[in-house]
Each structure stands twice: as structure tokens, then as C-alpha cells.
């Protein structure tokens, strides 16, 4: 059996040395050291040896196995180096060939407007506040002076999860949460996604975006509100933009107003963007209702405030001349790449 082992050693070393590539080397390794390899077969045949021969042959087989493992490792490294050299010789890269054009996306018009609005109000000293989109009716309605019989709480307007949990219909509950936790002065805007049970058409969507603002401090007046909104309108829509207030009613502000801006396309003369009126309805606003301040732990005898809110889609449609809101969320690249 010693002669057999010696023959296997010599033959395998020669084949390892003559191996042409890594696959050939792997086949040789299986031939001699695999489960059915020649050296493995010798080990399995040791049962027929005498007790004196068995340890000697076992030792010899292990020595040959270790030697072959070492030879295989050396040859494998050598073949890897040769394979790399061959690749470097045969694989040529033309560094002058133009690279593949990378298609870059663009910021969505809704995100553009939100970013622009945030920059404007940050420049005026506001902070950005955020809150949950799955909201309690307590914050969405009760804290904002909307009683249980208020029309905005109807199922036809609001997505109810339970009687007390809804998808927020406005970002106003963020204002209530901030007023509960923070003492005046307060100066925040609250951008975010809101949900209402609207049928999808050119001007409505059940999911849209709002930015609401809140200022609470001593001696805040309606003139502060109008001056703030005029500054915002000029920065967002153009320096020549004018603003006007129309009386309105909101449960969380008193007095309340709808704010219109002069058409930034025609300058107030009348065009298709403003539908010939010269004015574009922009947002709702007003002085924070004393009940809202009181509900949130702020003394209305000491502090006053104003609040406003507008739909981001409305700003985007007006600013970019978009006539159908559905274009903003249908993700048609032909439309979005314009921005």
C-alpha cells in the first residue's frame, strides 16, 4: 500500500504542476482528494490492514494529503495571477468612449412649493412644526372650536378610523399640539399631507398638501396678519402681487377672512388663469379664536394670535399654470420633467 500511496503522490503532483487553468486544477483536486478520490479510497481500505500497519499507513496518507493541499493552494494562487494577467492583456477599455447618459430626475412641483414656502417663512423667523397624520378628533376638531355638530366632522368630509381617530383633515391640529406644549411667543408653519373625502376631479383630491401658519404673542393684530401674507405673496408670486381680504367664517378664527392675491399672470386685468376676475383665491386666515387659545392653556386676555392655511396644490397650479390637479399625482414623466 505504501507503493500505491507513493504513486498517487507523484502522479498528483505532476498533474497539479501541469494544470492549465483553475477549472482543470479543481478537477484534479476532486480526482485525488474528493469523496471518491484516489487518496480517499486508500483511507477507506485501511480496514483490511493489520494493527501494526494501520497507524503507519494512516500517518503517511495524512502527510501526502497535507502536501497535496499545499501544492493545490500554491498552484491556485499562481493560476489566479496568470488569469489576471491574461485579462489585462485581452480586455481593453476605451477610456475615450462616451459614458452612458445618466437620466437625472427633478424635484416634484409640490415639493418645490413646500421648500420655497419653508424658506420664505424661515426667513421671517418662523419655525417648522410637524405632527401625526393619523390624528385624534380631539386635536383635529375639539381643540379648534369645532363642536360635535360641526359640518366638517361629518362622514362625508372626514376619513374616520374609529369614532375618536381620523386621518387629519387639516394641519391645524399641529398648531393645537404646539400651543399645548409651548408658551408664547409662538411662530410656526405646519406643512404636511391631509385627507378629505373628496371625489377626484380637476380641482379636488382626497389626498393633498397644506401649509398652515400660527403666530401667538402679545398685541398681535389683524394688520400683522395682512402684512405677513403680503410679504409671503410677494416673495412667492412676485413683487407686484397685491392681496385682499374678504369676510368669511372659520370656527377656529374670529374675525376670519378669505385672502385673494392679484393675478400674477395678467396683473389683475383678467386672464384664463384667474378666470377673468383679476384675483386668485389663495388661503383662509383670521385671528385665533379666544376659545382655541383657552382650550390650549393660553390666556386670551393676555395673548392674541393669527392663523392662516392654504393648499400647496393650489399654489402650484396657479404658479405653474396647471389646470388639472390630477397631473400632480399621476406621475406622468412627460409632465413632471417640465419642472
> CA-to-CA distance for 33 and 41, rounded, in angstroms?
9
Block means of pLDDT (10 residues each) for the chain, 339 residues, are 76 84 84 78 71 75 82 87 83 78 85 95 96 94 86 80 93 95 95 91 89 96 95 89 92 93 77 79 93 94 96 87 87 86
Query: E strand or H helix at 257, and its extent?
Result: strand 253-262
Question: Residue 101 has what pLDDT?
Answer: 83
Domain at 109-336, CATH class = alpha beta
> CA-to-CA distance for 133 and 173, rounded, in angstroms?
10
Cell numbers placing 164 = 375618536
Contacts of 124 (CB under 8 A, 6+ apart): 228, 231
Domain residue ranges in the chain: 2-90, 109-336
> CA-to-CA distance for 306 and 213, rounded, in angstroms?
8
Decide if 174 contacts 129 (C-beta within 8 A).
yes
Decide if 148 contacts 164 (C-beta within 8 A).
no
Helix 109-123 to helix 312-320 angle (10° resolution) is 110
User: Cα–Cα–Cα angle for 192, 247, 213, nearest 5°?
Assistant: 25
Amino acid at each position: 500500500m505504501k507503493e500505491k500511496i507513493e504513486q498517487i503522490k507523484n502522479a498528483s503532483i505532476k498533474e497539479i504542476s501541469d494544470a492549465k487553468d483553475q477549472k482543470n486544477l479543481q478537477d484534479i483536486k476532486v480526482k485525488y482528494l474528493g469523496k471518491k478520490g484516489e487518496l480517499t479510497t486508500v483511507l477507506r481500505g485501511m480496514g483490511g490492514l493489520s494493527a501494526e500497519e494501520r497507524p503507519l499507513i494512516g500517518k503517511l496518507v495524512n502527510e501526502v494529503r497535507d502536501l497535496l493541499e499545499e501544492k493545490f493552494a500554491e498552484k491556485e494562487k499562481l493560476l489566479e495571477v496568470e488569469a489576471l494577467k491574461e485579462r489585462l492583456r485581452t480586455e481593453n477599455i476605451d477610456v475615450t468612449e462616451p459614458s452612458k447618459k445618466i437620466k437625472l430626475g427633478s424635484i416634484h412641483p409640490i415639493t418645490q412649493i413646500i421648500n420655497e414656502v419653508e424658506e420664505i417663512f424661515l426667513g421671517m423667523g418662523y419655525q417648522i412644526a410637524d405632527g401625526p397624520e393619523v390624528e385624534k378628533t380631539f386635536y383635529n376638531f375639539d381643540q379648534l372650536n369645532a363642536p360635535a355638530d360641526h359640518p366638517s366632522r361629518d362622514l362625508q368630509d372626514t376619513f374616520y378610523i374609529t369614532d375618536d381617530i381620523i386621518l387629519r383633515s387639516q394641519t391645524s391640529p399641529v398648531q393645537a399640539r404646539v400651543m399645548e406644549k409651548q408658551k408664547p411667543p409662538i411662530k410656526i408653519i405646519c406643512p404636511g399631507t391631509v385627507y378629505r373625502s373628496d371625489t377626484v376631479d380637476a380641482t379636488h383630491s382626497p389626498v393633498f398638501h397644506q401649509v398652515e401658519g400660527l403666530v401667538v404673542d402679545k398685541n398681535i393684530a389683524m394688520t400683522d396678519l395682512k402684512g405677513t401674507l403680503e410679504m409671503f405673496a410677494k416673495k412667492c408670486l412676485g413683487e407686484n402681487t397685491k392681496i385682499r381680504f374678504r369676510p368669511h367664517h372659520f370656527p377656529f378664527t374670529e374675525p376670519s377672512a378669505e385672502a385673494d392675491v392679484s393675478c400674477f399672470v395678467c396683473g389683475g386685468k383678467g386672464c384664463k388663469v384667474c378666470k377673468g376676475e383679476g384675483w386668485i383665491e389663495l388661503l383662509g386666515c383670521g385671528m385665533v379664536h379666544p376659545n382655541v387659545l383657552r382650550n390650549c392653556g393660553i390666556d386670551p386676555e393676555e395673548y392674541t394670535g393669527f392663523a392662516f392655511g392654504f393648499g400647496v396644490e393650489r399654489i402650484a397650479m396657479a404658479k405653474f399654470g396647471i389646470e388639472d390637479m390630477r397631473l400632480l399625482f399621476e406621475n406622468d414623466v412627460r409632465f413632471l420633467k417640465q419642472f
